[in-house]
Amino acid sequence: MSVPTMGNIDCARLLNVKEKIVEIWNDTGAREAEYVADVEPAMAILDNQTADFKVLTQPDKDREVDIWWVEDCDDEDPSEEDDDQCEIDGEEAGTLCAHYALTEKFHKSFVVTEEKFRTSNLTYEEYVAKIMMKKMKLMDEFWAKKALAAMALAAGVNKYAGQYTVGNKTYIPPVAWNSDVFGYLDTALWMNKLGMSKMLTGTLLKQHYWKTGMESTNPNGAAEVAKMTAFGVPYFGRKVDALLGYKAAFLFNPNALALVTKARHSIYGAEGRKVPQNGGGEIILSTIQSRNLPQLTYDLYVDEKCANDDIRHGYKIKTRGDIFQNPSGCDNDLTGVLQMVCGFAP
């Protein structure tokens, strides 16, 4: 193994680490399942969001955005016609503002020393790649936790009670969670003006979805599949139940939420940029793409130092971003998100 010259980090080695990540990810061995993150809440938002926040994602600028709009909440019937054509009266519409900024910042970091590789079958690149994949998995899953929390917080008040108890949570008894519940959900979407929505859930309906899929070749099974895919294939998250503390399903409009991140170092290209450090040495500023959430790119910092008769490499993976909710307008109940809970109202 070649020993790099101190203070002159080898960018090629970093590129080799990234390439090794791709090789390991394509390995179908069971051991590699450890690096597959549970990110369905984040993926549900990223796959469907329609908002455009390019001004916030510019890598070379840190900006904040204020969006203003006219808010005319007049809901009165028109006045009867009068004969006076010269007098015009009425109320002036108001304006509202939403402020958007990337306020979430978190990271994972680790250290690798080189001497151990003189007696190990592992290469430096393999070792670093596996650690980096694990750290990125934790980063991805942290975004997924934030996405689920944002969706629960954004849940509006259901305008359609039907046979159930409604509010920010609509309580549907366990016995009702089968293909026929989609008839109620469709009416709830219509009453709440959600349009073509998507579904995110945990284990709720997962077994029933499998069963209907296996029986899709007979007429009754085909009808069941048609019911359950009325909003597209649901997003099933392994950790949704545990994170919520109960079983639930979210119906959300594509423009209700947006997960927006920025990688500052993307302006430096594949090899990154070397920057001198105080006291000598250099640090590489680079980026790395998430393997579980390919829409996300993380900033990567790499340095090396000589310490305790060994060569020490430091790695930091950092993200900047936020999850935004679309302004609700005059009716604050209509947020574009509904939460349906499996159970009975407390």
Same domain, 118 and 184: no
Alpha helices (runs of H) in 11-123, residue ranges in sequence order: 11-25, 40-48, 54-57
pLDDT classification of 109: cutoffs 50, 70, 90: very high
Q: Is residue 135 part of a domain?
A: yes
Task: State the average pLDDT for the chain.
Answer: 87
Q: Please give the tally of structural domains in the chain.
A: 2
pLDDT of 216 above 50:
yes
DSSP state letter for 293? S
* Residue % of the chain over a pLDDT of 70: 87
Q: For strand 337-342 and strand 170-172, is the pairing parallel, antiparallel, or unpaired?
A: parallel
Residues 246 and 182 in one domain: yes
Same domain, 33 and 121: yes
6 has a pLDDT exceeding 60: no
What is the mean predicted confidence (pLDDT) over 286-308? 93
What's the pLDDT band for 85 if we cut at 50, 70, 90?
A: low
* CA nearest neighbour of 104 among 325, 318, 337: 318
Indicate whether 111 pLDDT > 90. Answer: yes
Q: Which of 45-59, 149-163, 224-238 has the lowest mean pLDDT?
A: 224-238
In-domain check, residue 312: yes
Instruction: For residue 85, tell me if it sits in a domain.
Output: no
pLDDT tens digit sequence for 168-191: 999 999 999 998 999 999 999 999
Q: Select from 108, 119, 125, 110 the least CA-distant residue to 312.
A: 110
Residue 10 predicted with pLDDT over 80: no
| 269 burial via Cβ count (<10 Å: 0-12, 13-18, 19+) | exposed
pLDDT surpasses 60 at 7 = no
Domain assignment present for residue 144? The answer is yes
Check residue 95 and give its pLDDT: 61
Same domain, 267 and 167: no
Whether residue 225 sits in one domain with residue 174: yes
Does residue 195 sit in the same domain as residue 109?
Answer: no
196, 273: one domain = no
Where is average pLDDT lowest: 17-26, 109-118, 318-327?
A: 17-26
In a domain, 90, yes or no: no
Handedness of CA 228, 259, 268, 291 (dihedral sign): negative
Together in a domain, 247 and 216: yes
Please say whether the beta carbons of 147 and 173 come within 8 A. Answer: no
315 and 280 share a domain? yes
Length of the chain in residues, anyone?
Answer: 346
CATH number for the domain including 230? 3.30.2320
Rounded Cα distance between 64 and 332, Å, is 24
Residue 44 lies in a domain: yes
- pLDDT tens across 227-263, in order? 888 888 899 999 999 999 999 999 999 989 999 999 9
How many Å is the Cα radius of gyration of the chain? 26
Residue 4 has a pLDDT of 40
DSSP state of 117: G
The stretch 267-287 carries a mean pLDDT of 86
What pLDDT shows up at residue 284?
A: 92
Q: What is the span of the domain harbouring residue 251?
A: 158-257+334-342
pLDDT in tens, 119-142: 888 889 989 999 999 999 999 999
Between 237 and 2, where is the model more confident? 237
pLDDT the model gives residue 88: 64
**Nearest alpha carbon to residue 125 among 24, 26, 9:** 24
Tokens of 26: 């394509």
169 and 243 part of one domain: yes
Quick check: is 36 in a domain? Answer: yes
Is residue 94 very low, low, confident or very high in pLDDT (cuts 50, 70, 90)? low
- Let me know whether 299 and 232 are in one domain: no
Q: Which pair of structure tokens corresponds to residue 236?
A: 């099933």
Instruction: Give the per-residue pLDDT at 64.
Output: 86
- Residue 91 placed within a domain: no
For 199-208, what is the mean pLDDT?
94
Burial letters 47-77, b for 16+ CB under 10 A, else e: ebbeeebeebbeeeeeeeeeeeeeeeeeeee
Same domain, 200 and 56: no
